[in-house]
Structure 1
Amino acid sequence: MASDGGARMMDGHRHPLWKGTSVRSTLQDLMRQLPAVNELLDAYGGRKDAVRERDAKLLTRLARRILDAERHRLRQEAEKGLAPSPRPLDALAFEMNRALTDFDRPRTHPVVNATGVVLHSGLGRAPWPDAAFAALEATRRYCLLEVEAEEGKRRRRDAFCEDLLVELTGAEAAFVVNNNAAATLIILNTLGAGKQIVVSRSQMIEIGGSFRLPDVFEASGCRLREVGTTNRSYVRDYEAALGDDTAALLLVHTSNYRIVGFTEHVDLPELVALGREHGLPVIHDVGSGSLIDLTPLGVPDEPPVQTSVKAGADVVCFSGDKLIGGPQAGIIVGKKEWIEKIRKNPLARALRIDKVTCVALEATLKLYMEPDSLFAKVPTLGALTESLESIEQRATLLQRALDKVLDGKGAALLLEDTSELGAGTLPTHGLPTLCVTLDIKGVGATDLARALRTGRPSVFSRIKDDLVLLDARTIGDDDVSLIAEALQHIVEDLDS
């Protein structure tokens, strides 16, 4: 706050309001003009029924928040040398209504993903299958989570998921934690705490949120031994690094980047052979994780988990909310000897999944038991493999709907472009798509994209060449009307 000597203005002169008085005393006078909390509640309640319908403590908290914000505004304007004045009571009462509306609106609300990023981390990654949502009904009440019904004895909460994972991957055992970073942490801590784990320098990855593999090594209590160079590693590099304190060999699938050109890398069978020769377990972090072979569908470089198991990896870990298309989870499969040790690690309690993840993951995994209908039931796989012809049909419907809303105030046109899988998966593999470009006269692309995001319904798009793009690959048929509704609100605001 400015000193009692006077308020500052942007040009260095004092505002007439402050002449002959102090900023502090003038502010005190302004603060006294603000209503008391009860006065604001009375103005908001009017007939009192609005207040009676809501908890008095909540309304009081909101009223105090609004009055605090008003005091802060007055101070800020005074410090800038302006001539602040309190807003009238009816305006503050309107703020009460808006604050209550904002409070009732969930912060995590549904949005339309028109970005073209199938696995959008900011928008919740994989959209769940209907079966996973239906399974959540069981979690609203007491449910059979850690007890079996026949004898009433306790059982593991992930037992059903383990049965399915063993069946689907061919592994001896399975264990599930809350994400793949947690899976990596508990594996390294169990197999290598206080010891050395050998990994290629080219696999020292960083993924979203500044998650770095070397940091996980440090947190797990094991020592990292990098071998090879960024672009070339050989079996002899691993072998030369082995010592009495070596606990395991690690292979990391680089899901979120590729090194091409003059390269040489050790593949899993080679590493497994080295591990068996020296009596060392081999860990394979496959990252995104797929339970089916996507190569015939034009998706390369994402080997299914079953391939790692068959190759002899002792422990394999991967995500549940990427290519599998289920809830967030870190899935660990492999040899029973190692899975049991991981399960008994004290960290297992801290990293375990909750009942919602249990039932949603189980429901998702069951879909993989019926492969003929899999792509129709798992939205991620459907979006990944949808034909360009089908996408074009949806894009055309969207273009016509938006063109009707614009009514000459702008243009909505079709554009061929490329979608991406996202979440650090298949970074070099684009997906051909059809987009609708959106352009409104007098409105910049950045402002238009912001208006779409902050509106209701909320629509997330992408910007290319100063145009807003709505990618038809990641929108559903029901989203067409929602996008048109969002645009209608924007057009109406421009007209008002």
Structure 2
Amino acid sequence: MTDAPDPAVRERLRALPAVDQLAAAVTGPAATPVEATAAARAVLDARRDELLAGADGPEPDLVARARAHLRPSLRRVLNGTGVVIHTNLGRAPLAGAAADAVADAAHGYMNLELDLATGRRGARDAHVAQLLVELTGAQDAMVVNNGAAATLLAAAALAGPGRSIVVSRGQLVEIGGGFRVPDVVAQAGAQLVEVGTTNRTRAADFRAALDAGADVVLRVHQSNFRTVGFVEDVPIAELTALGAPVIDDLGSGVLAGGLDDVLADEPPVRTSVAAGAALVCFSGDKLLGGPQAGILVGTREAITTCRRHPLARALRVGRLPLAALAATLALYRDPERARADIPVLAMLTAAPDALLARARQLAGATGGDVVDAVARAGGGALPLLELHGPAVAVGPDGAGAHDLAARLRAHDPPLLARITDGRVTVDPRTLHGDGELEQAAAAISAALSGS
């Protein structure tokens, strides 16, 4: 038997407004009466649970809560963190051409799996395969729903039950979300063969494993960390010379040329293809600067094997990311245009003078101070890269900085910042979109004034 609430709690429960009363206060241009009623009911139920659980303090604004309940959970945010490929914020923002392609694909039907010339069913990969072949030099290509799926499909298709995959111990890595290479091999149904040591693996180690019956070689790029010092690994050309099919998991995937000052630590896709890797796997939403997607390029035989595998249908990509990917890849036909139009590349290579001008503009609008900062590539790429540039420190230091950061997150649109040396710091490098600097200034001013 549940104990009855004490008199003070009963009084607070009785003071709650009726559903229709709260709904009437919420109904307006942003909410129909039906929507407002549903929100009011949900908010009142939650508030009753809080009171029965012993909630103390002043009464909350239930109208504000109901309006917040109706607001979409997935929202546009302003990235002032200086982390360019921010996984928690959706990784790479799309180029304008890619965003337009998504909108066009969303507003009607499209020939996703239709050959318009013959009127027969076609392959969805056809919309990007030729572009990928052109840009990477591969014989064929296909796309799945994310980078992890690309590696899983590659391992399952080229190895699978009854076969084995040989990997260097120095490459048995874990990426975000607990995704581990040994688990990928296990899910593919293959046997894992470990060779070498954590810091040194030689071609002879792979040769011995292949001579003992291993079937496929998997190379995994150290995307989110680096091993330095007394280390040795095997270049892709030496691995492919061993004669077994090689899967090269590059993680981010670099297509852009002429950015050696920024991307020198990331292996280009073309290099792996030219070396003869059977399959090269990489993500669409990291350094490529496109939508979430897993891309496989390689030999015609290996890609055909992947297409025919049962996992291919389970992992296939949808029409909206496919449209965005096609538009992003098309930009790479002109490298200069790609560097200018793809936000990730533009942010990574932003000119110091332009960043300083933006920082001074933001500081002038908010009363902040221009300070030195270090931005990061993020997204499990280029872990050693430090992008030095200006940022703007605003508001109080110490405990007050955390309160200010919370108020910035509560703004519409939310502004994400970081706390450095006890102050909220906003980096203009990642406030890249049209009007974002002005929106960030408005958010800071509102948060500082308490409005």
Aligned partner of 2:73 in structure 1 is 107
Evaluate the alpha carbon distance shift between residue 27 and residue 348 of structure 1 in structure 2; reply closer, same or farther with a 3 A threshold: farther
1:438 and 2:394 correspond = yes
C-alpha displacement of 1:60: 4.2
Deviations 1:110-147 (A, max 9, x none): 11111111101111111100000111223211111110
Distance across 1 between alignment mates of 2:165 and 2:446: 57
Aligned partner of 1:265 in structure 2 is 233
Aligned partner of 2:117 in structure 1 is 150
Aligned partner of 2:20 in structure 1 is 41
Distance across 1 between alignment mates of 2:445 and 2:225: 40
1:485 and 2:405 correspond = no
Aligned partner of 1:333 in structure 2 is 297
Deviations 1:448-495 (A, max 9, x none): 21211221231111111112111121113622211221122123327x
Q: TM-score, normalised by structure 1?
A: 0.84
Distance across 2 between alignment mates of 1:485 and 1:52: 22
Evaluate the alpha carbon distance shift between residue 111 and residue 316 of structure 1 in structure 2; reply closer, same or farther with a 3 A threshold: same
Instruction: Report the AA paired with residue 228 of structure 2.
Output: V
1:283 and 2:247 correspond = yes
Deviations 1:199-254 (A, max 9, x none): 10000111111111111111111111111001111111112222565220111111
C-alpha displacement of 1:181: 0.2
Aligned partner of 1:211 in structure 2 is 179
Kept in 1: contact 2:248–2:277 (CA 8 A) = yes
3-state DSSP class of the match of 1:174?
strand
3-state DSSP class of the match of 1:331?
strand
Give the alignment partner of residue 53 of structure 2, picking from 62, 76, 81: 76
3-state DSSP class of the match of 1:284?
strand
Kept in 2: contact 1:183–1:317 (CA 8 A) = yes
3-state DSSP class of the match of 1:326?
coil
Aligned partner of 1:348 in structure 2 is 312
Kept in 1: contact 2:84–2:378 (CA 8 A) = yes
Bigger mean CA deviation after superposition, 348-357 or 130-139: 130-139
Deviations 1:161-189 (A, max 9, x none): 00100111110000100111000111111
Identical-residue share of aligned pairs (%) = 42
Evaluate the alpha carbon distance shift between residue 256 and residue 74 of structure 1 in structure 2; reply closer, same or farther with a 3 A threshold: closer
Aligned partner of 1:7 in structure 2 is none
1:139 and 2:96 correspond = no
Distance across 2 between alignment mates of 1:26 and 1:358: 60
C-alpha displacement of 1:297: 3.3
Aligned partner of 1:16 in structure 2 is none
Evaluate the alpha carbon distance shift between residue 434 and residue 232 of structure 1 in structure 2; reply closer, same or farther with a 3 A threshold: same
1:313 and 2:272 correspond = no
Q: Which structure carries more relative contact order (alpha carbon 8 Å, separation 6+)?
A: 2
Distance across 1 between alignment mates of 2:338 and 2:70: 37
Instruction: Report the AA paired with residue 448 of structure 1.
Output: L
1:248 and 2:216 correspond = yes
Aligned partner of 2:93 in structure 1 is 127
Instruction: Report the AA paired with residue 348 of structure 1.
Output: A
Q: Which has the larger radius of gyration?
A: 1
Evaluate the alpha carbon distance shift between residue 241 and residue 416 of structure 1 in structure 2; reply closer, same or farther with a 3 A threshold: same
Aligned partner of 1:426 in structure 2 is 382
Aligned partner of 2:32 in structure 1 is 54
Kept in 2: contact 1:51–1:59 (CA 8 A) = no
Bigger mean CA deviation after superposition, 145-154 or 60-69: 60-69
Give the alignment partner of residue 201 of structure 2, picking from 233, 236, 241: 233
- Superposed, 1:80-99 pairs within 5 Å as 95=62, 97-99=63-65
Aligned partner of 1:408 in structure 2 is none
1:63 and 2:40 correspond = yes
Distance across 1 between alignment mates of 2:70 and 2:327: 31
Distance across 2 between alignment mates of 1:115 and 1:101: 28
Q: TM-score, normalised by structure 2?
A: 0.92
Give the alignment partner of residue 339 of structure 2, picking from 361, 365, 375: 375
Aligned partner of 2:365 in structure 1 is 401
Kept in 1: contact 2:175–2:380 (CA 8 A) = yes
3-state DSSP class of the match of 1:487?
helix
Evaluate the alpha carbon distance shift between residue 145 and residue 24 of structure 1 in structure 2; reply closer, same or farther with a 3 A threshold: same
Kept in 2: contact 1:451–1:490 (CA 8 A) = yes
Bigger mean CA deviation after superposition, 171-180 or 433-442: 433-442
1:363 and 2:354 correspond = no
Kept in 2: contact 1:294–1:302 (CA 8 A) = no
Kept in 2: contact 1:445–1:466 (CA 8 A) = yes
3-state DSSP class of the match of 1:444?
helix
Aligned partner of 2:160 in structure 1 is 193
- Superposed, 1:166-185 pairs within 5 Å as 166-185=133-152
Give the alignment partner of residue 389 of structure 1, picking from 337, 353, 366: 353
Kept in 2: contact 1:433–1:472 (CA 8 A) = no
Give the alignment partner of residue 413 of structure 1, picking from 369, 378, 396: 369
In the alignment of these two chains, the number of paired residues is 448
3-state DSSP class of the match of 2:121?
coil
Aligned partner of 2:256 in structure 1 is 292
C-alpha displacement of 1:398: 1.0
Evaluate the alpha carbon distance shift between residue 118 and residue 35 of structure 1 in structure 2; reply closer, same or farther with a 3 A threshold: closer
Q: CA RMSD in A?
A: 2.7
Instruction: Report the AA paired with residue 247 of structure 2.
Output: I
Evaluate the alpha carbon distance shift between residue 389 and residue 43 of structure 1 in structure 2; reply closer, same or farther with a 3 A threshold: closer
Kept in 2: contact 1:31–1:71 (CA 8 A) = no
Deviations 1:4-46 (A, max 9, x none): 6xxxxxxxxxxxxxxxxxx46859965984779xx42145427
Instruction: Report the AA paired with residue 198 of structure 2.
Output: T
Evaluate the alpha carbon distance shift between residue 35 and residue 444 of structure 1 in structure 2; reply closer, same or farther with a 3 A threshold: closer
Evaluate the alpha carbon distance shift between residue 206 and residue 294 of structure 1 in structure 2; reply closer, same or farther with a 3 A threshold: farther
Evaluate the alpha carbon distance shift between residue 338 and residue 401 of structure 1 in structure 2; reply closer, same or farther with a 3 A threshold: same
Evaluate the alpha carbon distance shift between residue 34 and residue 245 of structure 1 in structure 2; reply closer, same or farther with a 3 A threshold: farther
C-alpha displacement of 1:55: 5.3
Deviations 1:233-288 (A, max 9, x none): 111111222256522011111111111111111111111111x2xxx201111110
